[in-house]
Amino acid sequence: MKLLETNRCFEGVWQRYSHVSALCQCEMTFSVYLPPGCESHSGAMAPGDRKPALLWLSGLTCTDQNFVQKAHAAAAASAAGCILLVPDTSPRGLNIDGEDERYDLGSGAGFYVDATESPWRDGYQMFSYITEEFLTLVAEQLPVSLEHLGVAGHSMGGHGALIMALKRPDLFRSVSAFAPICEPSKCDWGQRAFSAYLGSDQAEWAEYDACSLIRQGARGPGRIRVEQGDADDFLEAGQLRPESLQAVCEDAGIELEYQLREGYDHSYFFIQTFIAGHLGYHLVQLKHPATGDASALQTGLASR
């Protein structure tokens, strides 16, 4: 890990790092928020030194910096003593033909899948990168408790959060999403990306589709929170399909806390309004001793 910059914020620090990724075959960049009293470590750490963490997965066109600068999450993370982990959304600079031609394919649009099709399979291994390489790295170098880890995301990143929680319940103890792409196999964004990254076999697509995974028996943590704005243009356009997630969760007996927020769109103004409540939602479930303010954060959202 190479430290690129540090910015003090709400008595904690945002730190930005880079590292060479074997899976993505390039230098990857990510950001971390360390709450007050939570310094970088190297070497062995006692369990009591480690803090709960929320992994945030960003949406199409984003880097790690969109969440850092626009979500306004640091104050809530400081109050609760929670680390925030914010990776990038794709490999960068692999010189793959077409990687920078579209906003919804290639750079900034990894869709959190492990690509099997040429030329994307050489580097576009975002599912394994996040769940194996990235989390192993930060747990080795920072006081992150992988026993108290939640995952959340927005849009494409909401899709990523859902599939990671469903496929790796051993790793993620809680999950939430803002305006997630709930059924990518049935929307234009997902169909374009899956065709390129995974090929034409829709059985392969089903392994990265939250609704399909639930139909196949995946349960994840057993509870999901989704925040959706009713003024979101992509909701009306059929890209998000929360009604499909609602139907499969009801059939499977998975508790889905679905909030449709009047007047809110797809932007980070929506996210910054409700991020503190989502953080509280996660920390109540993670049950870490350091999260004494988690219930207050969750209650604050519920009252809005």
Can you name the residues that pair with 12 across neighbouring β-strands?
Answer: 9
Contact 152, 177 (CB under 8 A): yes
Known catalytic residues? 155, 232, 266
Q: Which tokens in the block code for residue 151?
A: 């995952």
Q: Which tokens in the block code for residue 128?
A: 């394994």
Tell me which long-range contacts 297-300 makes (C-beta under 8 A, separation of at least 24).
Answer: 297/76, 297/79, 297/80, 300/276
Angle, vertex CA 63, rays to CA 132 and CA 110, nearest 5: 55
What is the torsional sign of CA 68, 71, 77, 83? Answer: negative
Cβ-proximal residues to 251 (8 Å cutoff; 6+ apart), any chain: none
CA distance 37 to 4: 21
Contact 84, 283 (CB under 8 A): no
Cβ-proximal residues to 59 (8 Å cutoff; 6+ apart), any chain: 66, 89, 153, 154, 155, 156, 157, 158
Contact 220, 172 (CB under 8 A): yes
Torsion of Cα atoms, 48 then 50 then 53 then 55, to 10°: -150
CA distance 115 to 204: 10
